[in-house]
Amino acid sequence: MQRWSDGVEYDKPSKRHITLNGEVTHCGTAIPDDATFKPVTLERWPMYTDCYNCAYRLWPDYGPADYIRPKNSADFPPRRIC
């Protein structure tokens, strides 16, 4: 839950982040204690995440060669190279 400055609580929309160790995301977002984890293979992670910062940081080591590296947050899901 997040809280507006006037004290009203609301659910914060969430992005689908990527973590390799279950302790920290690749964009630096804190993982809450009640987070739900979904196992994703290294080959499929680009199709799962919608966090540009996670993708940007993971791409050099784990980005699939047959996909275009996202250039901004509008480039999700990544597209295959034609």
The count of other CB atoms within 10 Å of the CB of residue 51 is 21
pTM over 0.85: no
- Mean pLDDT on 4-24: 71
pLDDT tens, residue by residue, 15-59: 888 888 888 888 888 887 888 888 888 788 888 888 888 888 989
**CA separation, residue 28 to residues 15, 64, 71 (Å):** 13, 22, 19
The whole-angstrom separation of Cα 69 and Cα 56 is 8
- Peptide bond between residue 39 and the one before it cis (omega within 30 degrees of 0): no
pLDDT tens, residue by residue, 56-77: 898 999 888 888 888 888 888 8
